[in-house]
Structure 1
Amino acid sequence: MRDPSVSLFMRAPHSPPGDPVVGNALRFARSPFDFLDTLSSSYAEGVVHLSGMAGPGIYVVLDPDLVQRVLVDDHARYRKPQLRPELVDPLIGEGLLTSEGDLWKRQRTTLQPAFFTSRLRGFGDTIVDFTRATTAGWRDGGELDVHHELGVLTVRIISRLLLGVDLSRADAVDVAEAMERVGETLALSPGNVVRPPWLQTPPPREYQQAIRELEDVTARITAMHDPGGDDVLSLLQRAIGDDPDAFPADERRDQVMTMLLAGHETTALTLTYALSLLSATPDARAELRSEADTVVDGTPTWGDLASLDYTERVVHETLRLLPPVWALFRQPLADARLGEYRIPEGAPMMLPQWALHRSRRHWDAPLTFDPDRWRETKPAEVAAYFPFGAGPRACIGRQLAIVEAKLILATLFAEWDVAVTADELPRRAAITMQPTEPVPAVVRRR
């Protein structure tokens, strides 16, 4: 779909000074989050061109109004680019996260009922029960890797809620650890950023092994599944039964892999980063404990959600300051006009939550963890805040993610103090922003 406002005489975006041949690629790959901070503070223009990456380079969109243009107003003019298909395709194939066109529309329509609010109301007890089962194994005063614990917990929750299967802790550990190895391979590095798109190398052996382990669990989930409910697998199986030609042969496998990846990881990361930020902000942690004491009568319930106001603010402030999904990517289907700039057909575009969520142009004291900034502000009204994307391709599970994070935090703080002891959490930029090391925490029973 050609944009009729595009002109050959439009301006080209600014490009930061780069190195010979590789342009901006190495500097970006070595420290992507610092590099995005520099772009955000140095360029008031809406679009910046990074040379030396992905052939034509990458166009970074730093204006929230232009982000909304791409994701919402003109969404039909853009698609998701195929970034590192040699790695992503074997992992999630044509699941909901990567599919396009009519296939994506069929998938989204088919699976949407699994995320209806009417269905979410039945999830509260399950989320709380799995959380308490996790903490039952904790020792008062003990130290643990809280990111690992939360990863295993959210795998089990998502398997029950979205896939209709009670996954064993052992299988959940296998999934969490395999996803860790997947993240290591998908992380940005100087080598994979400067490599020409046409030069593809076989996936590392460790990556292939991780996918095999995930496929083994996926096969067990499919075998254990009892159809007939409103979970993702049941909805998909009924749709395939009605029209088998509408979906690829590996559809079940791809959707289970997608739900295991996208369904658990962003929530586990949000909770990990929330606990880290709360540990470094004693007043906020005290406020969260006080709310849990006031609202929760022993065990949180769905009915408590509306009163967990400060807890929700903590979740949104975590998603702003340390967004697990650090950037979205699009490419125009034809030459496109974005603000005053021309974006060539097929050129990769980056829409970085990391930069816009933390920009002093859009936030007061942007690097300060301040849940109260959301006291009078509704997240949906802030263009510079889009942790789950926006428009038709916004995350299908965004409401579930907020509900899950609130109930898990309330359950934890009703019975435990969780103090992350690491001063810094080194992070890598993969599909999500992930800790590169275990996240140590001391847990004490209240």
Structure 2
Amino acid sequence: MHAPHSPPGDPVVGNALRFARAPLDYLDAIGDAYADGIVHLSGAVGPGIYVVLDPGLVQRVLVDDHGRYRKPGFRPELVDPLVGEGLLTSGGDHWRRQRTTLQPAFFTSRLRGFGDTIVDFTRATTAGWTDGDEFDLYRELGVLTVRIISRLLLGVDLSRADAAAVGDAMLDVGEGLAVSPGGVVRPPWLQTPPPREYQQAIRELEDVTARVVAMHEPGGDDVLSLLERAIADDPDAFPADELRDQVMTMLLAGHETTALTLTYALSLLSWNPAARATLHDEVDAVVDGAPRWEDLAALDYTEQVIHETLRVLPPVWALFREPLADVRLGDYRLPAGAPLMLPQWAIHRSPRHWDAPDEFDPGRWAETKPAEVPAYFPFGAGPRACIGRQLAIVESKLILATLFADWDVEVTVDDLPRRAAITMQPTEAVPAVVRRH
């Protein structure tokens, strides 16, 4: 039993400012310096944060001993007004009730019926393109994935304007929730009002949410229908804001990670022409016109591209937990309530676990099953793994195959500045040009 590693810090603020100024770079640095194990980053106030860099210990927290940990409250003054007690943030019996209620919306048997919808929405988007068009790829994909998720999970056809409003609001949300020097040195008891732009973004999201609920027709197997039936059967089991919180959660979490995955995939393919050519060859060989559900099994390289993207540029850059009581985690003893960071960013890219980790190499997944790699957990693991992980892979494969059947998409910058918020977002527009294939 020994204490976690403690990197050198600064007087008073410890490691807080070094981490906050460049979180992803700092995680790279401590990942290289300390490799496996746990690193304690001290802060200006409070217990600091414990960064778990050993994939085996991550497995212990998320899977083997999951009942001994919970999700911590993260920036409640910002997150609570955003998603309330939605599936991402709720805990205990409430979370279990939500998960059980919503799980049928994500059954594989239901996913089979999603293929045509995903392809149709994608082709409707590309129908507005002309050869040589240039646009912000992240925004374009955000509008597309919001509309897809609204149809598949919420049972409504959201307008392009409403979908764009969701995407634009998410950028303001991401800026408000980004790791920042001010955020890490402010005492937890010092609550400040959310920035005006953040409050306005929530109002815009709530307006869209209200329209979704008003447009929805009950009786299906979508998230809203399942919730409405569960609430009708047991009104006291759910809070008054349940519908609002879950719609907000699905609009944000349901589209954001897929839009980011596709943005990063198309960027990495632009920077790696051989991989892009291989993907084009596969789509040309498999897809006749537009992809179908039956084509998914043959789109092997397409799926490898997605998994390699999630490894190199994981949209979810870290997960967070805290022990309910004092725990022994490997050779370390951690106090109750100690904030734990489980960083996909550092572990997915560590030379301890990957050959040539900085290289974008989809072929590394040709003989490797992602579920069998402890150092790869883009959707989390255990009971609280992302409920929509299978849908995210299917949706990403079908969108990529639809795009590559008719188009070549090239990101025209050679780097994407990013920020660490709830997700890892680009901080600037992602310029891309499209050409007929």
- TM-score normalised by structure 1 residue count: 0.97
Deviation string for 1:103-147 (max 9, x for gaps)? 000000000000000000000000000001111111211111110
> Does residue 334 of structure 2 align to residue 331 of structure 1?
no
For 2:276, the equivalent position in structure 1 comes to 285
What is the aligned-residue RMSD (CA, Å)?
0.7
Question: Matches of 2:308 and 2:88 in 1, distance apart?
Answer: 25
Question: Matches of 2:165 and 2:36 in 1, distance apart?
Answer: 45
- Tell me, what secondary structure is at the counterpart of 2:345? helix
Between Structure 1 and Structure 2, how many residues are aligned? 437
For 1:351, the equivalent position in structure 2 comes to 342
8 Å CA contact 2:410–2:434 kept in 1: the answer is: yes
Instruction: Give the 4+ runs in structure 1 shifted more than 3 A.
Output: none
Question: Matches of 2:251 and 2:320 in 1, distance apart?
Answer: 21
For 1:445, the equivalent position in structure 2 comes to 436
8 Å CA contact 1:143–1:440 kept in 2: the answer is: yes
> Does residue 8 of structure 2 align to residue 17 of structure 1?
yes
Question: Matches of 1:54 and 1:285 in 2, distance apart?
Answer: 48
For 2:332, the equivalent position in structure 1 comes to 341
Match of 1:52 among 8, 31, 43: 43
For 1:416, the equivalent position in structure 2 comes to 407
For 1:295, the equivalent position in structure 2 comes to 286
Question: Matches of 1:195 and 1:347 in 2, distance apart?
Answer: 18
Runs of at least 5 residues in structure 1 that lack an aligned partner in the other structure: 1-9
Task: Give the C-alpha shift of residue 58 in structure 1.
Answer: 0.2
Question: Matches of 2:206 and 2:217 in 1, distance apart?
Answer: 19
For 1:163, the equivalent position in structure 2 comes to 154
Give the alignment of 1:2-81 within 5 angstroms: 10-52=1-43, 55-81=46-72
Question: Matches of 1:14 and 1:307 in 2, distance apart?
Answer: 46
Task: Give the C-alpha shift of residue 175 in structure 1.
Answer: 0.6
Question: Matches of 1:306 and 1:408 in 2, distance apart?
Answer: 15
8 Å CA contact 2:12–2:44 kept in 1: the answer is: no
Percent identity over paired residues: 82
Match of 1:369 among 335, 353, 360: 360
After superposition, the Cα gap between the structure-2 partners of 1:54 and 1:376, relative to the gap in structure 1 and judged at 3 Å, is farther
8 Å CA contact 2:320–2:340 kept in 1: the answer is: yes
In structure 2, give the amino acid aligned to 1:229. Answer: G
For 2:261, the equivalent position in structure 1 comes to 270
- Tell me, what secondary structure is at the counterpart of 1:417? strand
For 1:122, the equivalent position in structure 2 comes to 113
Question: Matches of 2:36 and 2:161 in 1, distance apart?
Answer: 50
- TM-score normalised by structure 2 residue count: 0.99
Match of 2:215 among 207, 217, 224: 224
Task: Give the C-alpha shift of residue 54 in structure 1.
Answer: 6.1
8 Å CA contact 1:54–1:348 kept in 2: the answer is: no
- Tell me, what secondary structure is at the counterpart of 1:414? helix
- Tell me, what secondary structure is at the counterpart of 1:240? helix
> Does residue 171 of structure 2 align to residue 180 of structure 1?
yes
Deviation string for 1:269-326 (max 9, x for gaps)? 0000000000000000000000110000000010100000000000000000000000
In structure 2, give the amino acid aligned to 1:260. Answer: L
8 Å CA contact 1:48–1:61 kept in 2: the answer is: yes
Question: Matches of 2:426 and 2:420 in 1, distance apart?
Answer: 9
Question: Matches of 2:355 and 2:44 in 1, distance apart?
Answer: 33
8 Å CA contact 1:45–1:63 kept in 2: the answer is: yes
For 1:247, the equivalent position in structure 2 comes to 238
Question: Matches of 2:8 and 2:210 in 1, distance apart?
Answer: 50
For 1:257, the equivalent position in structure 2 comes to 248
Runs of at least 5 residues in structure 2 that lack an aligned partner in the other structure: none
